[in-house]
Amino acid sequence: MARVLLVDVFTERAYAGNALAVVLVESMPEPAHMQRVAAWLNLSETAFLLPPTQPGADYRVRIFTPRRELPFAGHPSVGAAWAAIRFGLLPDAPGARMQECGAGLLPLHIEGRGAARRIHVQAPRAGLRDVLDAATTGRVRQALGVAPRGPAQVVDVGAVWLLADLDTAAAVRGLAPDAPALVRLTRALDCVGVAVFGREAAGDAALAVRAFCPGDGIAEDPVTGSANAAIGALLHARGQLPGARYVASQGREVGRDGRVEVQVEPDGAVWIGGGCVLCAEGELRV
């Protein structure tokens, strides 16, 4: 049996943000078995905490959606670090830590303790692919039902996202995309999903974000760290950041309102983070 925590990430209250299962295992299960566990739990991601294999790492995490393993994902990285403190793998103290994952060694920064604890992870360096051609751009417009502001673009931060700027938060919140068309589009571009964003006119967030992953069995992901990291990298490259530090609102449309804290360094490195809340703990047969 393995210890398991169910944690809500990018929130300060339970049953908001994005749910994550974190499973503590002492030795490496077969990847196919970890995939079966993730499919059974049927959350957007499940994280498995393992002993590190690289010098300098405090722990290792492997991240699975219900259908595939990811080299990096944002809310599993933040939630896994929070769970590592709970499991005693990390000290319960502010400071710098190091996570090992499929994307390599990623720095973590922990602030505060207890309910006030905030965890930020540096996302893998973004790779911006070529702007989509006219035919693919037309497919994006058809799948979303609206025309993006400027070209849609694929950005790789370990998880690969197709990003579309819808200009305003109202356009983002009112979106009703064609899910089968999104599946075809993401498979053709080898993306985990499509993320859209727009500017908020007021409130505590600068951007509204939504992320759709129907090809992975997730119609809409509640609050997505990797998508927000990709958006931060894209806006930095385009000179359109709302600020070096800003907050993104995501999840309201699926009843899981969350907040992602984004920081973009002058060299383009992106940090994403926020709070976590424990919802359940127990044992799981692994």
Q: Is the dihedral of CA 5, 9, 14, 15 positive or negative?
A: negative
- The model's pLDDT over 38-79, given as tens digits with 9 standing for 90+, comes to 999 999 999 999 999 999 999 999 999 999 999 999 999 999
Task: Give me the pLDDT at residue 127, please.
Answer: 96
Structurally, the chain folds into a number of domains equal to 2
Q: Are residues 120 and 145 in the same domain?
A: no
Q: Are residues 176 and 227 in the same domain?
A: yes
Residue 236, SS3 per DSSP:
helix
Task: Give me the pLDDT at residue 46, please.
Answer: 97
Q: Are residues 67 and 178 in the same domain?
A: no
* Residue 114 pLDDT class (50, 70, 90 cuts): confident
DSSP single-letter state for residue 45: -
Tell me the pLDDT of the chain averaged across its residues.
95
Phi-psi bin for 95: left (phi > 0), alpha (psi -120 to 50), beta?
A: left
Task: Give me the pLDDT at residue 150, please.
Answer: 87
- The model's pLDDT over 30-39, given as tens digits with 9 standing for 90+, comes to 999 999 999 9
Q: Are residues 263 and 147 in the same domain?
A: yes
283 has pLDDT over 80: yes
Percent of the chain residues past pLDDT 70, beyond the cut:
100
Q: Are residues 138 and 254 in the same domain?
A: yes
Name, in order, each residue with C-beta under 8 angstroms of 80's C-beta and a sequence gap of 6 or more: 20, 22, 47, 49, 59, 61, 63, 99
286 has pLDDT over 80: no
Q: Are residues 60 and 192 in the same domain?
A: no
- The model's pLDDT over 200-235, given as tens digits with 9 standing for 90+, comes to 998 999 999 999 999 888 999 999 999 999 999 999
d(CA 104, CA 77): 12
Q: Are residues 91 and 177 in the same domain?
A: no
Average pLDDT over residues 181-186: 96
The domain that holds 177 is classified in CATH as 3.10.310.10
Q: Are residues 200 and 260 in the same domain?
A: yes
Task: Give me the pLDDT at residue 282, please.
Answer: 96
257 has pLDDT over 90: yes
80 has pLDDT over 80: yes
Q: Are residues 184 and 115 in the same domain?
A: no
Average pLDDT over residues 258-284: 97
Q: Are residues 229 and 278 in the same domain?
A: no
> What is the reported pTM?
0.95
Average pLDDT over residues 243-261: 97
Q: Are residues 114 and 150 in the same domain?
A: no
- The domain in which residue 68 lies consists of 2-124+273-284
Task: Give me the pLDDT at residue 28, please.
Answer: 77
